[in-house]
Structures are given as structure tokens and as C-alpha cells.
Amino acid sequence: MSEPWVGGLREELQVIEGRLDGMGQPAARDAVKRDIIALFKRVDGALNDLGQLKEDIRGLVERYKQASGAGDSATSPAPAPQFAGERPVVHADHLGASTFIEKGWSLISLGDYSGAIQSLEKALALSPGAIEAQSLLGWAQMLHEDYDDALGTFSRVLMKEPTNALARINVGYICLKKRIFGEAIEHLSKAIRLDNDRRATLYAHYYLGLVYLEREMYEDAQTFFRKTLKLGPNLIEAYFDLGRALWLAGHRDEGVQTWADGHKANKFNPWAKRCKEMLDLVDTGGEVPRSLLS
């Protein structure tokens, strides 16, 4: 359903369209030309304003995500890979699939994963096998926690692009969530060996740390979390989980110091707040959770 102001612009267009047949005189033609140009400028200006408003809404979404935090307590599950894909360049195509791909990307960015899934499935119906649509669909399914569907989608992506490291770490994350640890290690280790995407390499180390933490192989977990922080000091969740790995291995002073470092690194980050929660938890004699997988 169109907004009322859009209907008003369309009515103006129809009025001008109705004047086309009766513009025999030069003055009438000039008047129609001026009105067409004026209408075009109004619509173009409105599109620019809407585009800026759309970007402002994206900023609002990011602020909401930061304010809402990574979870409500120290027992929230491991975070999914952060979606930060590049906005797809929309090329006009006779099928219209590219429009649904761009819409799907926008909806993922806004956190509307079910809407993104619908849009991207339409894109694939129009253009079966489109790799960009498949990759984005996998992201949307994973973030919507449709893990089996996402696993199948990413598997199809990897059949076409075996060196797609981001798809591979997403498969690793899904296997971690499903507690298929052997396959998680296989995919995450391969992403590290590929080393063709900095963000994928960073998350591969972090999720391998989580795999070994879940398996109570604390020394191995510590190794991967320390490498994660070396590669990406701003991934504060690595401080949170390194602290757990140290504490559960009996290195309690180091664990406390790690949580303190994580809290100091960025006090406004939700994971820094969770580091503070862990400090408060152990200070009151609480038990550090061994597993955060839901």
C-alpha cells in the first residue's frame, strides 16, 4: 500500500499525462515540459531524502544492537559471526533477481532475517544458483537459527566456491552450535589455512577456541583465544571466553585479570559488560559456566 504523498505525486503525473494530447501550441508544450521537469525534480529529491533516511535507520539499528547488548546474562550462547558483508551492486536484469538480492542484504542488515529469507528465495527462484543470493540466504538462515537449512545452503556455496572462507567459518559456527565438533574443527582449520579473508581468519580462531572450550581442552582453547586477540583486539568476546578457559583450567587469577582487561578495553561494548558480570559472579562465589551453547 503506497503512502498518501506517493499517491499525490502519481495523480500529478496522470494530470500531466492527460494534457499531452492537447498541447498543440508552443506555450502549452512549454508548460507541460516545465511541469514534467518540476515533477521529476520533486520525485528525485524525495528519493534522495528517503535514501538518507534509510541510512539513518541503519545507524539506528546499530545503536539498538549496541544498547541491547549480546545477551541478558552471562549464560547467553556464543555469538554468531557478525554480518558485515559489502552491499551488493545492483545491476538491472530482465528477471529482477538483483533487486531481491539487494533487498535481502538490506533486511539482514536491519535484523529482519525472515523477511530476508523470503526475498532471497525469490531471487533464487528467478535466478537459480546465483552464488551471491545463496551466500546471503545462508547468512539469513543462520542468523534466524534455521541451522539445518543454513548448513545445506552454505554447502552448496562451498561446492561452487571451495575457497569461500566466510561461508566455511559459518559452517564451522553452525557445527559448533549443533555440537558436531569434529566437522567444526575441520572447516575452521581449513579457513585458517586459506587465510584469504582477514575477518574469516579472526573468527575461525575464535570459534576453534570455543570448540576446545566446550570439549574442556582448556590449554588449546587458551591458545586460540590468545591468537584471536592478537589478530583482533577489539573482539571483546574473546576476553570473556579466554577468562573462562583460564578460570576453568585453575588459573583463576589470570582469568580475573583477563575479564578485567576485557572490561577496560571498551566499557560500552556489551561483551565488556559481560566481563564485568563474570568479575561480579566470581567475587560473590558464583560458578563460572562450563558451556554456553544452547
Using the predicted structure, report yes or no on whether residue 163 has a pLDDT greater than 90: yes
- As a whole number of angstroms, the distance between CA 85 and CA 9 comes to 35
Compute how many other C-beta atoms are within 10 angstroms of the C-beta atom of residue 200. Answer: 23
Give the Cα separation of 221 and 223 in Å (integer). Answer: 5
Considering the domain boundaries, does residue 213 fall inside one?
no
| Position 239, amino acid | Y
Dihedrals phi, psi of 204, to nearest 5 degrees: -60, -45
Distances (CA, A) of 106 to 83, 109, 117, 140: 11, 5, 11, 11
Residue 1 confidence class, pLDDT cut points 50, 70, 90: very low
Q: CA-based angle 250:257:67, to the nearest 5? A: 115
Assigned domain for 219 exists: no
- Specify the range with the lowest mean pLDDT, choosing from 24-33, 133-142, 149-158, 170-179: 24-33
Quick one: cell of 93?
536484469
pLDDT bracket for residue 84 (50, 70, 90): low
**pLDDT (0 to 100) of residue 17:** 80
Domain assignment of residue 107, yes or no? no
Q: Provide the pLDDT for residue 76.
A: 53
**DSSP class of residue 78?**
P
- On whether the CB atoms of residues 139 and 108 are closer than 8 A, the answer is yes
At 164, is the secondary structure helix, strand, or coil?
coil
Q: Which domain holds residue 16?
A: 8-45
Residue 28 forms part of a structural domain? yes
Is position 50 within any domain?
no
Judge whether residue 66 has pLDDT over 60: no
How much is the pTM? 0.75
Sort residue 171 into left (φ over 0), alpha (ψ -120 to 50) or beta.
alpha
Of the two residues 27 and 285, the one the predictor is more confident about is 285
Helix axes 218-231, 198-214, angle to 10 degrees: 160
Whether residue 242 is contained in a domain is answered as yes
How many domains, in total, are found in the chain? Answer: 2
In a domain, 16, yes or no: yes
Section 51-60 average pLDDT: 69
The stretch 27-44 carries a mean pLDDT of 79
In a domain, 137, yes or no: no
Q: In whole numbers, what is the pLDDT of the chain averaged over residues?
A: 86
Alpha-carbon distance of 191 to 207, in angstroms, equals 11
